[in-house]
Amino acid sequence: MGLFDIFKHTEGEQDSGLSKEINDNAAAEAQQYEFSLQKTESVSALLQIAPEARDQQWLTQLLTDLPHASFRSGNPQIIAGPDGFPYFQLFLPQPGETFQNFIIDLMVPDFLLERGYGIVINPDGGHPDWILSYGDLLNYKLNGSFLKQDNSFNQENDEELSAGEEVLIGQPSENILPAFTRKLLKDFFELNGVENPKVLLMMRKKGEEMQQDLAFNITPDKFDSETTFRNMMQTVTWYLPRHYSVIGLHDDALNSGFMPL
Cα 117 to Cα 28: distance, rounded to the nearest angstrom: 30
Higher pLDDT, 154 or 38: 38
Tell me what the mean pLDDT of segment 58-86 comes to: 95
How is the chain split into domains, by residue range? 3-143, 167-260
Q: What is the pLDDT of residues 31-43, one digit of tens each?
A: 565 668 899 999 9
Using CB atoms within 10 Å of the CB of residue 14, give its burial: 0 to 12 exposed, 13 to 18 middle, 19+ buried. exposed
Cα 195 to Cα 189: distance, rounded to the nearest angstrom: 8
Q: Half-sphere exposure of 258 toward its Cβ, with a 13 Å CA cutoff?
A: 19
Give the ranges where 48-178 is alpha helix by DSSP (H). Answer: 56-65, 104-107, 113-115, 134-143
pTM: 0.83
Higher pLDDT, 20 or 247: 247
- Looking at 2.30.30, 3.10.450, 3.30.300, 3.40.1010, the CATH number of the domain 167-260 comes to 3.30.300
Q: What is the pLDDT of residues 201-212, one digit of tens each?
A: 998 877 677 789
Q: Half-sphere exposure of 33 toward its Cβ, with a 13 Å CA cutoff?
A: 16
- Taking each continuous run of H as one helix and of E as one strand, the counts in the chain are 7, 11
pLDDT band of residue 166 (cuts 50, 70, 90) is confident
